[in-house]
Amino acid sequence: MSKQKPSLPKGTRDFGPAEMNKRHFILETIKKVYQKYGYAPIETPAMENLSVLQGKYGDEGDQLLFKILNSGDFLSKTEKTDLNSSKDLLPKIAEKGLRYDLTVPFARFVVMNQHNLSFPFKRYQIQPVWRADKPQKGRYREFYQCDADAIGTDSLLCEAEIVLMIKEVFTLLQAKKANSLDYSIKINNRKILSGLVEAIGQKGKETDFAVAIDKLDKIGIDKVKEELSSKGFDQAAIDKLDPVFAISGNNREKLQAVKSVLQSSEVGLKGTNELEEVLNILDSFGMEVPELELDITLARGLSYYTGAIFEVKPNNVKMGSISGGGRYDGLTDNFGLPNVSGVGISFGVDRIYDVLEELDLYPDNNITSTKVLITAFDQDSWNYGLKVLSSLRNAEIKSEIYPEPVKIKKQMKYANDKQIPFVIVIGSEEIKSGKLALKNMQEGTQEMLSTDEIINFLK
RNA sequence: GUGAUCGUAGUUCAGUUGGUUAGAACGCCUGAUUGUGGUUCAGGAGGUCGUGGGUUCGAGUCCCAUCUUUCACCCCA
């Protein structure tokens, strides 16, 4: 018998108590904001039928889906010739997959429950998703997304509220003011991108255009032009983009500049009008959002977006986007429910965790642990301690008793390791007098108090 | 998917041109302290050097494969 060392699948992690406390802080913050804006919680299964997932995320996305092998004798349904190609084999041996994001399962949920839902339907959903990616900085194979989506309305109020929610979440997360997260909420509209492609006479090449222009801040204008050229955009068309690359100023000024480039494109102008309306609504709220930045080059990879798109980028930490979203018109169409538009946002908890960790932004007293530990010298004291414990818990004081009356030193060490601030020591003298020793672990001081006095003190 | 990179005690890491019994710090356990943690002091336990092959009289060290880590590209939260 050889003992095997346990290990985790690539790109997955365990979380200890200290990490979970911080993660809960993030999750609770996001949840609080979602609820405040009228979103209701739902959950969907970890696995979906592959037919639901495939074809929604683009070719790259399909490759990153985790597939689940069919149960039983899965080979019995295959032919010898299927073994020649993974493409032929796959659908015969796997019909389920792990969810890749929360938006597509949500669209499925909406279609399946359309007759029970009241539209517009606003839901939030906080669950893990899985991607068969190669792990690297800020990239895991299992990670949590926190989505809020509003479906069944075209109102641009939803877009505006998304901006407000993003701002509120990141304001609340920065409980510790010593450092701060410098971030931008980037916004754009897929219709503007489509309009640009149309305006330069390259209609049909939207995807290549989006992929290339999205890299602008990373690789620069020249490289983007090179990439466009290599994707078959002719030089005259590329040159027409120069005014776009030159756009600067505040959000309103940028919008005006884009409009002039898009004069010939109906869809492009629709995009700029939508963005303008979002800015107007934000003004009506009377909220200043200096983090909001119109970025004509923002594209985002997911292929289902059709209107506004969002992305939140940290500026003082090297990390990809920590939040993203946008409007999608055709997602429920895939499942037989046309003409339903949705818009949503997703926070990437794992990346936000890494960013807050790097900037040391967690509040100091984030630990919700035991407040008092009862220790006992012998069995009689321990039995007495159970009554005390019961009283403490009835008074809603987080408390525990060391499970056995072992050496007091060991019990003390346990309290110390677990950072329990108070310890009650019970021995024969304490039982006799009814006054228990309450030790303050931080000060090292100790006083004799009755159980009631202890409860009043700790409450 | 492409290209690099890492792996030695619970943890972070040393380990010479290949050469006896693989070290340190921190942590852990025991005691100094039979009614008290965190400090101090003394002692102790703990490693088939990621895994599997190969070269060699001899491999932690060299070669190959594989898994894992980290990172860039592609793409993405």
The ipTM, to two decimals, is: 0.87
CB A455 within 8 A of CB A448: no
Using alpha carbons, select from A96, A67, A90, A62 the residue that is nearest to residue A77.
A90
**Can you give the distance from the CA of residue A7 to the C1' of nucleotide B16 in angstroms?**
34
* Residue in this structure with the two tokens 């019909």, named with its chain if needed: A95
For residue A172, the 8-state DSSP code is H
pLDDT in tens, A305-351: 999 999 999 988 888 899 999 999 989 999 999 999 999 999 999 99
Residue A311 or residue A211, greater confidence: A311
Provide the mean pLDDT of chain A: 91
Asked whether residue A83 is domain-assigned, the answer is: no
Asked whether residue A310 is domain-assigned, the answer is: yes
Two structure tokens written together for A307: 């209107």
Q: What pLDDT, on the 0 to 100 scale, is given for residue A293? A: 93
Q: CB of A145 under 7 A from strand B?
A: yes
| Model confidence band, residue A176 (pLDDT cutoffs 50, 70, 90) | low
Q: Which of A317, A334, A359 is the last residue of a domain?
A: A359
Same domain, A60 and A195: yes
Sheet holding A308-314, edge to edge: A40-41, A121-130, A142-151, A342-348, A323-328, A308-314, A183-189, A292-294
pLDDT in tens, A223-247: 888 888 888 888 888 988 888 888 8
Q: What pLDDT, on the 0 to 100 scale, is given for residue A1? A: 33
Please give the backbone phi and psi of residue A376, each rounded to the nearest 5 degrees, phi first: -135, 145
Same domain, A397 and A342: no
DSSP A94-129: EEEEE-S-SHHHHHHHHHHTTTTPPSSEEEEEEEEE
Q: Which domain holds residue A146?
A: 17-65+100-359
Sheet holding A94-98, edge to edge: A47-49, A94-98, A67-69
Query: Is residue A170 helix, strand or coil?
Result: helix
Two structure tokens written together for A108: 């499925």
Mean pLDDT of A354-368: 76
Query: Is residue A318 helix, strand or coil?
Result: coil
Mean pLDDT of A147-176: 93
Give CA–CA dist A381/A386, Å, rounded: 9
Give CA–CA dist A98/A438, Å, rounded: 52
Would the pLDDT of A81 be above 70? yes
Q: Which of A359, A386, A407 is the last residue of a domain?
A: A359
Asked whether residue A89 is domain-assigned, the answer is: no
Q: What pLDDT, on the 0 to 100 scale, is given for residue A151? A: 96
**Can you give the distance from the CA of residue A86 to the C1' of nucleotide B52 in angstroms?**
28
The CATH number linked to A392 is 3.40.50.800
DSSP β-ladder status, A40-41 and A121-130: parallel
Q: Is A102 annotated as a binding residue?
A: yes
pLDDT in tens, A250-259: 999 999 999 9
Give CA–CA dist A42/A51, Å, rounded: 22
DSSP β-ladder status, A323-328 and A342-348: antiparallel
Residue A20 belongs to what H/E stretch?
helix A17-36
Q: CB of A147 under 7 A from strand B?
A: no
Would the pLDDT of A195 be above 90? yes
Same domain, A237 and A302: yes
Same domain, A304 and A387: no
DSSP β-ladder status, A40-41 and A67-69: unpaired
Neighbours of A28 (CB within 10 A): 11
Q: Is A300 annotated as a binding residue?
A: yes
**Can you give the distance from the CA of residue A331 to the C1' of nucleotide B25 in angstroms?**
58
End-to-end CA distance of chain A: 54
Asked whether residue A247 is domain-assigned, the answer is: yes
Would the pLDDT of A156 be above 60? yes
Would the pLDDT of A16 be above 90? no
DSSP A351-375: HHHHHHHHHT-S-S------SEEEE
Same domain, A129 and A260: yes
Q: CB of A410 under 7 A from strand B?
A: yes
Same domain, A339 and A435: no
**Can you give the distance from the CA of residue A133 to the C1' of nucleotide B31 in angstroms?**
53
The CATH number linked to A57 is 3.30.930.10
Q: What pLDDT, on the 0 to 100 scale, is given for residue A226? A: 87
pLDDT in tens, A380-437: 999 999 999 999 999 999 999 999 999 999 999 999 999 899 999 999 999 999 999 9
| Model confidence band, residue A4 (pLDDT cutoffs 50, 70, 90) | low
Q: What pLDDT, on the 0 to 100 scale, is given for residue A6? A: 78
CB A306 within 8 A of CB A188: no
Would the pLDDT of A60 be above 90? no
Q: What pLDDT, on the 0 to 100 scale, is given for residue A2? A: 40
Same domain, A315 and A378: no
Whether a cis peptide bond, with omega within 30° of 0, leads into A363 is no
Two structure tokens written together for A123: 């839901």
Same domain, A269 and A333: yes
Q: What pLDDT, on the 0 to 100 scale, is given for residue A18? A: 83
Same domain, A291 and A431: no
Strand partners, A314: A183
Using alpha carbons, select from A329, A323, A284, A279 the residue that is nearest to residue A304.
A329
Residue A382 CA neighbour count, 13 Å, CB half: 12
For residue A228, the 8-state DSSP code is H
Same domain, A421 and A301: no
Please, is A153 exposed, middle or buried when counting C-beta atoms within 10 Å of its C-beta (0-12, 13-18, 19+)? middle
Q: Which of A324, A359, A394 is the last residue of a domain?
A: A359
Number of domains comprising chain A: 2
Sheet holding A372-376, edge to edge: A399-401, A372-376, A422-426, A436-440, A445-449
Percentage of chain A with pLDDT > 90?
65
CB A361 within 8 A of CB A350: no
Q: Which of residues 285-324 of A touch strand B (CB under 7 A)?
A: 300-302, 311, 318, 320-324
Residue A288 belongs to what H/E stretch?
none
Q: What pLDDT, on the 0 to 100 scale, is given for residue A360? A: 79
**Which nucleotide has its C1' atom closest to residue A58's CA?**
B75
Same domain, A301 and A441: no
Chain B footprint positions (protein CB, under 7 Å):
1-3, 28-31, 35-38, 48, 50, 67-77
Please, is A92 exposed, middle or buried when counting C-beta atoms within 10 Å of its C-beta (0-12, 13-18, 19+)? middle
Same domain, A301 and A385: no
Two structure tokens written together for A384: 């007495």
